Structure 1
């Protein structure tokens, strides 16, 4: 759904279907998928399927899962996808206003992360396996760094969405990229250097670094094709579309990986109340 939405924005197809919740006056009839209509209507069909699956997921968690917080998480995912659909409709009805369009893009990332979290919490490893506990005595703690990674990534995604939807210039998104890179590298290296024996922590930390490198390369490529080379393009060109959509997709994977790492750190690396022991050199006192 995120990729389909990125294709809509990158191809300037947001108003190709001018009405909502209908498509050219019909709720069920598939229009001729030509031009931008194929991107916008396909995005709507994928969103409808995502909404239907989320309804099933919410009902299933409410009836089958005994954990109360999981029931509410399923309801939260349903509420998020409903809000996402409403925001998507408002972008059409109000002719793509940047604040609503950016909120629509940001909420899509939130929904994606919620579904990833639900997948983890309902997986056999989470339910059946005993967590490998290794207390964290370092400051800042790894859970703090993991949450900070999610925060800076989410801010970066919002800045990118505002640029793509013409609500902000490109430079805040570009200037914040080094901050994101530093925080994510710090978090991943801390996890790998101290807790590499915990597979549930090691794997998302490695993936975080790999996706970060990929995302930086894609970001540079998207900047070249969209800002440097394509700023005066009459219509979106294929290199611009491909690089931008890939950049959005990997950004979503990067945020989801940071969420996975934070969840696993919270489970396996609890914060220790003990302060790390520091060695002091005592100067001998002369007799």
Structure 2
């Protein structure tokens, strides 16, 4: 998007703002979806796509949450359709237009999965897939918002100091671990296993549960995953602050990732201590999505600013590391 006229720049900004709006709406949809699960309202409306055979049912009990979720999903579908049409007219980069088309296709798949979930009364595999697709859609929307930012193409390149594991690789690994942790959390939530271990940070008063079943195993796996996520996030954030503290585009998402991690850990603890109260439980789902999106943002910016790590860079990093080791042992 370099060398654009003021009119073209303003059009690009308009598309970017609408992409941000669509990403924000998708985040709200995840929160409302979490609210449906937290309140046990997933089957409050037993039919689909109608609701009790009507377009608009009576707003009472769990119907408010389930039908509100459907309205939110419909809103995101419309926003994504508008975004796709807008990008097709105003976005010169073919790969960005294809991403928006992929997002529209994904949200249609998500809607179908939601309908199957209702019609077949919450089959576990479909319910977890529905949650996984929601997170993937949110990541895709965040990526589109980042790529449509007019400043994306003008971001300056920065050299990365030699290291065994490039920051880009570390950030990708961290994002992948967070996504897997969210999937384990979704599995635990849809198995109704969130409170099978009733205490925290211990498990039945022990570090490792003294007895097991499939529900305890999933719950404890989610707790172990939280430890892995914490370690990966701290590693990534420390790396950014140590080597790229002056790069604002990397420092800000790194610090945001750290703060969101602290909030997420606190919400997880409160969820257990409160017996899965609705607000902390739903917030735990939403903040998990925010942690994932922030890690993804850091990853994309790292690739843009630092570039794709090359084989020569890796060899240089290994040689530098060996030289340091020889100096230490000498």
Q: TM-score, normalised by structure 2?
A: 0.78
> What is the CA deviation profile of residues 91-126 of structure 1, one whole-angstrom value per residue up to 9, with x for unaligned ones?
100101111111111111111111111111111221
Are residues 191 and 282 of structure 1, via their aligned partners in 2, closer, same or farther at CA, if it must alter by over 3 Å? closer
What is residue 233 of structure 1 aligned with on the other side?
Answer: none
Q: Is the CA contact 1:113–1:259 (under 8 Å) kept in the aligned structure 2?
A: yes
What is residue 212 of structure 1 aligned with on the other side?
Answer: 261
Q: Does structure 1 residue 142 correspond to structure 2 residue 133?
A: no
Q: How many pairs were matched up?
A: 269
Alpha-carbon distance in 1 for matches of 2:170, 2:299: 9
TM-superposed deviation, 1:282: 11
TM-superposed deviation, 1:131: 1.9
Alpha-carbon distance in 1 for matches of 2:289, 2:119: 26
SS of the residue 1:123 aligns to: coil
Question: Which segment is superposed worse, 169-178 or 180-189?
Answer: 169-178
Q: Is the CA contact 2:142–2:293 (under 8 Å) kept in the aligned structure 1?
A: yes
Q: Is the CA contact 2:128–2:183 (under 8 Å) kept in the aligned structure 1?
A: yes
2:48 to 8, 20, 31: 20
Alpha-carbon distance in 2 for matches of 1:224, 1:101: 26
Alpha-carbon distance in 2 for matches of 1:156, 1:56: 32
Q: Does structure 1 residue 269 correspond to structure 2 residue 310?
A: no
Map 1:149-160 to 2 at 5 A. 149-160=174-185
SS of the residue 1:124 aligns to: coil
What is residue 68 of structure 2 aligned with on the other side?
Answer: 42
TM-superposed deviation, 1:281: 4.3
TM-superposed deviation, 1:283: 11
Alpha-carbon distance in 1 for matches of 2:280, 2:82: 34
Are residues 102 and 133 of structure 1, via their aligned partners in 2, closer, same or farther at CA, if it must alter by over 3 Å? same
2:280 to 221, 234, 243: 243
Q: Does structure 1 residue 183 correspond to structure 2 residue 232?
A: yes
SS of the residue 2:159 aligns to: coil
What is residue 10 of structure 1 aligned with on the other side?
Answer: 38
TM-superposed deviation, 1:203: 0.5
Q: Is the CA contact 1:136–1:269 (under 8 Å) kept in the aligned structure 2?
A: no
Question: Which segment is superposed worse, 194-203 or 133-142?
Answer: 133-142
What is residue 110 of structure 1 aligned with on the other side?
Answer: 136
Q: Is the CA contact 1:16–1:37 (under 8 Å) kept in the aligned structure 2?
A: yes
Map 1:184-203 to 2 at 5 A. 184-203=233-252
Q: Does structure 1 residue 163 correspond to structure 2 residue 212?
A: no
Question: Which segment is superposed worse, 270-279 or 91-100?
Answer: 270-279
Map 1:46-85 to 2 at 5 A. 46-85=72-111
Are residues 282 and 83 of structure 1, via their aligned partners in 2, closer, same or farther at CA, if it must alter by over 3 Å? closer
Q: Does structure 1 residue 258 correspond to structure 2 residue 258?
A: no
Structure 1: 4+ residue segments shifted above 6 A: none
TM-superposed deviation, 1:35: 0.2
- Runs of 5+ in structure 2 lacking a partner? 1-28, 193-214
Alpha-carbon distance in 2 for matches of 1:159, 1:100: 14
> What is the CA deviation profile of residues 220-255 of structure 1, one whole-angstrom value per residue up to 9, with x for unaligned ones?
111223xxxx3xxxxxxxx61111101001000000
SS of the residue 2:277 aligns to: helix
SS of the residue 2:48 aligns to: coil
Q: Kindly report the root-mean-square deviation, in angstroms, between the aligned alpha carbons of the 2 structures.
A: 1.8
